[in-house]
Structure 1
Amino acid sequence: MRTAHAEAAPARIRQTGAMGLLFFLLFLAALLLTGCSDRLEAERSYFCPMHPEVTGSKPGDCPICGMRLVEREGRTSGADHAGGAGRQEAGSEKALPPQILADRAPVAIPARHADWVDLRTEEVVVRRIVREVRASARVVPDERRLHRVTARAGGWVEALYVNASGQAVRKGDPLLRLYSPEIYSAEQEYLIARRHQEELARKEIPGASAAGSDLLAASRKRLELWGVPEEEMRRLDREGKAEKTVTLSSPASGFVAEKNVVEGQKIEAGEPLFLLSDLSKIWVEADLFEADAPLVEVGMEAVLVLPSLPDRSFKGKVRFLNPFLDPSTRTLRARIELSNPDFLLKPGMLGEARLRRDFGEHPAVPEAALLKTSQSALVYRQNEEGRLEPVEVETGVAGGGFVRVIRGLTPGDRVVTSGNFLVDSESSLAGALRSASSPGRGE
């Protein structure tokens, strides 16, 4: 029995060793297969057929046109990875690279195809660029032409000559007749002082005449400070009799905007009675958008148009810009002053203010010619051979449908103004084919 067990032990040892070797070989093969799969996945490359500059190592969508990325045929070599480090990865938030022109190529559009897509070109010329700013506006009274009428002494309104709001008055027109015990007493004191001064002048007493004159002047000044008109003072001197009532006259021409008094009312000194508004010149308040505010300056000409007067326009000038922006509407208020001799403009009217900012003469292209990217703008210029080539341009101010060209074009160049999106697609496709056919690409 001991001999049988001794012979079986080496056999079990050999069997166990064979099993361990088999498991080790299987584990090593799994590692090799996993490494190869990862390497093959890492060598895959995807690109956008319309924008070849957009590449990625994983499937996704083009951030420019939204087209699904397709796998590049063949495997990307390490050199391709190094050379494509500057390309935009799909799904990344980086802006388009400045060298976007390298992925486009000049194209030639046959004449018959140009008619189908309405392809048009226009010459770059030097033109005056004028930007028009439009803003909602409303007509308001000129605050400098408002007159508040008050009585400087208390009393009772005996008669009211202006008895309705909106009534037109002229400077010097009577507004009301006021009985004021204070003014009546002051007039009597003035007459007494005048008689006293005359008596002292006749007696020829040294210094007495001067004292009487001072008293008379003080009495007269008191009446003037109470607002007694000059006409009433001349009547006192002429008739020598105090009147029970005094007439309150209009200090300016205009319209009655407010009326706070009725006949028979007792009024106090300083109480507001009328508000007169001179509408021969009015204000227009225009609310400028925050982006348009830097274009408007004091002294700039403005035109007011009203839906209620479609055949008329009113010219004025900007006289004031509010230093504070309205936080609720994000607008800046501009004040425009206009003459209103015919009183056609009524406070409360709503309209539109139009202001024109002149930027001078510059080389310019139509706005429709520009294809804007995240960092720059492109146009397609017609070269001497008739081919359309992409050109990166630097632009400035815009106005009237044209944009100033600072760099990239010169007067006399012809640029595409209609059908340029189709031209851009053709140019991108030509650039992609050129890249694919270059040595080292797609191999």
Structure 2
Amino acid sequence: MNAQNLQKNLTLTAVGLLILGLGVAGGVWWTKRSSSMASAVTESAKSERKVLYWYDPMKPDAKFDKPGPSPFMDMQLVARYADEGAADTGALTISTRASQSLGMRLATVTQQDMSSTVEVAGTLQLSERDVSIVQARTSGFVERVYARAPGDVIAAGSPLADVLNPEWAGAQQEFLAVKGMGDAALTQAARQRLTLLGMPPTLIQRVNDSNRTMAVTTITAPTSGVLSELMVRQGMSLSPGMTLARITGLGTVWLELALPQAQASNLAIGQVVEARLTAAPEVVLKGRVTSVLVETNPDTRTLRVRVELPNPGQRLRAGMLATATLHGPSESVLLVPSDAVIRTGKRALVYLAEDGGQFKPVDVQIGAERDGQLVIHQGLSAGQKVVASGQFLLDSEASMRGIVTQPSPPTESMAAPVAPMEKGAVFETSGVIEELDASNIKLRHQAVPALKWPAMTMGFKRAKDLQSSGFKVGDTVQFQFKASGDEYEVVTLKGAKP
């Protein structure tokens, strides 16, 4: 009985193992079948993708109808499929969820009236246009110097020094002697001689009225102002033309500004300026731009601008600091946030947000920046939406997909001269033959400045009369080529020194 139970158990175990083995084998077969079906579906989907055109990733704006080597670089052309149409339209398509995860923020292009108002710091200086020089008119000796010192503010007619003039004393004696003779003509001639010697009319009249000589004369200040220099001392001898003092007027002062050259576009002579002193910010001084110096500061690259300010009561002092506001005409401009513009040094671009979650790169011409806003001269219009945050991630994705910017048309004044790519235009350079067959030639050539090409390796077609030219790989040649449809054709080929 026990033997029968044991045999029965062994039979059941064998049957179970057989069923388990069949199940495992079936699972393996089903897995392989599913994988084969998925691969077939994938290959079918790939084979059904529609090719729009072929392109060179290094020059994505050039399109070709068939695959093959790139005429620009030493590489094969890449296919652009219909389901990648975003690059064909020059735009990226980003879902709403993806844009939120990237932290994108949009801003509206606004149009506002903005005046060309510039605020800049400056320093007060004495006006060099209101300067008087006191000089000795004849030889003499300084008898006395009045209590004056450089920096003193003096009034017009203030005495500076008493000078003994022997030459004047002799001429005065002759004048009085001739006057005593009663000859009117001789008297007038002697009086004229006193004038020619440089005597002031007031001194001549005093000699005439008193009938006595005045050898000592007092030199006075011709105008009021600050005594900038005083070079006369008691006991010194004088010669004609010697400078004794320098007086600078205080009726007006200069406010000299250091204006950044980027803000000088609307600067004009006569422009109204409002100034506030650091010492008295509540007082507004009004003046006008009188001159813009012809040289910029070589260290700061700023323009030196002079503003003339009235100085009633002589309260303005040289060396005071002030803040000046230059008011210019207002104009209607387009504004975007400064963060929305990507500046590379050679160009500026923004990403324009369009319907359907598309973002298109657009070249723009930028202007002045103020309060976090940047003026756009060309490339956008009011009401459009631009990406103000996250645009650098978009720019990286666009570069990988070969999406190029949509350039704004240049204005006539800013358009750069570009070599025309006319039909039949011929260009010339030199290079080394890399590959050669019956109808094609690959050359490692030098730069072509007329087309703004750098030195590179690229393929060319060979003109019919050059298909048996006798050259071989490794030869250095001078060649001419022209555009032929989407390709370039070598029209002349001759040997050159390596």
Of 259-268 and 309-318, deviating more is 309-318
1:152 deviates by 0.5
Paired position in structure 1 for 2:92: 105
Q: Distance in 1 between matches of 2:400 and 2:91?
A: 7
1:163 is aligned with what amino acid?
R
1:249 aligns with 2:223: no
Of 171-180 and 407-416, deviating more is 407-416
Q: Which has the higher strand share?
A: 2
| Structure 1: stretches of 5+ with no match in the other structure | 1-52, 57-77, 90-98, 198-211, 434-443
Paired position in structure 2 for 1:79: 67
1:79 is aligned with what amino acid?
P
1:265 deviates by 2.7
1:107 deviates by 2.8
Paired position in structure 1 for 2:306: 335
TM-score (norm 2): 0.55
1:360 aligns with 2:331: yes
| Structure 2: stretches of 5+ with no match in the other structure | 1-54, 59-65, 78-85, 404-498
Q: Distance in 1 between matches of 2:250 and 2:207?
A: 36
8 Å CA contact retained: 1:166, 1:255: yes
1:150 aligns with 2:119: no
Closer/same/farther in 2, CA of residues 101 and 145 from structure 1, 3 Å limit: farther
Q: Distance in 2 between matches of 1:106 and 1:83?
A: 30
* Count of residue correspondences: 333
2:360 is aligned with what amino acid?
P
User: What is the RMSD computed on CA atoms of the aligned residues?
Assistant: 4.3
Paired position in structure 1 for 2:179: 194
Q: Distance in 1 between matches of 2:333 and 2:151?
A: 52
8 Å CA contact retained: 1:129, 1:402: no
Which of 266, 274, 282 in structure 1 is aligned with 2:245?
Answer: 274
Paired position in structure 2 for 1:176: 161
8 Å CA contact retained: 2:143, 2:234: yes
Of 174-183 and 406-415, deviating more is 406-415
Q: Distance in 1 between matches of 2:215 and 2:242?
A: 21
Q: Distance in 2 between matches of 1:399 and 1:324?
A: 25
Answer 1 or 2: higher relative contact order, Cα 8 Å, separation at least 6: 1
1:132 aligns with 2:118: yes
8 Å CA contact retained: 1:167, 1:255: yes
8 Å CA contact retained: 2:162, 2:218: yes
Look up the SS of the partner of 1:395 in the other structure: strand
Q: How does 1:30-429 map to 2 (within 5 A)?
A: 79=67, 82=70, 104-110=91-97, 113=100, 117=103, 119-128=105-114, 130=116, 132=118, 134=120, 137-197=122-182, 212-287=183-258, 296-302=267-273, 314-324=285-295, 332-348=303-319, 355=326, 358=329, 360-373=331-344, 376-383=347-354, 387=357, 389-400=359-370, 401-417=372-388, 419-421=389-391, 424=394, 428=398
Closer/same/farther in 2, CA of residues 307 and 108 from structure 1, 3 Å limit: farther
1:157 deviates by 2.1
Paired position in structure 1 for 2:3: none
Q: Distance in 2 between matches of 1:388 and 1:100?
A: 11
Q: Distance in 1 between matches of 2:181 and 2:74?
A: 108
Closer/same/farther in 2, CA of residues 318 and 100 from structure 1, 3 Å limit: farther
Q: Distance in 2 between matches of 1:332 and 1:275?
A: 29
Q: Distance in 2 between matches of 1:150 and 1:100?
A: 82
1:354 deviates by 5.9
1:149 deviates by 0.6
Closer/same/farther in 2, CA of residues 215 and 324 from structure 1, 3 Å limit: farther
Look up the SS of the partner of 2:312 in the other structure: coil
Closer/same/farther in 2, CA of residues 402 and 180 from structure 1, 3 Å limit: same
8 Å CA contact retained: 2:142, 2:234: yes
2:191 is aligned with what amino acid?
R
1:192 deviates by 2.5
Percent identity for Structure 1 against Structure 2: 25
8 Å CA contact retained: 1:378, 1:392: yes
Look up the SS of the partner of 1:79 in the other structure: coil
Q: Distance in 1 between matches of 2:265 and 2:88?
A: 34
Closer/same/farther in 2, CA of residues 230 and 133 from structure 1, 3 Å limit: same
8 Å CA contact retained: 1:129, 1:359: yes
2:381 is aligned with what amino acid?
T
Q: How does 1:10-49 map to 2 (within 5 A)?
A: none
Q: Distance in 2 between matches of 1:291 and 1:422?
A: 27
Q: Which has the higher helix share?
A: 1
8 Å CA contact retained: 1:139, 1:346: yes
1:188 deviates by 2.3
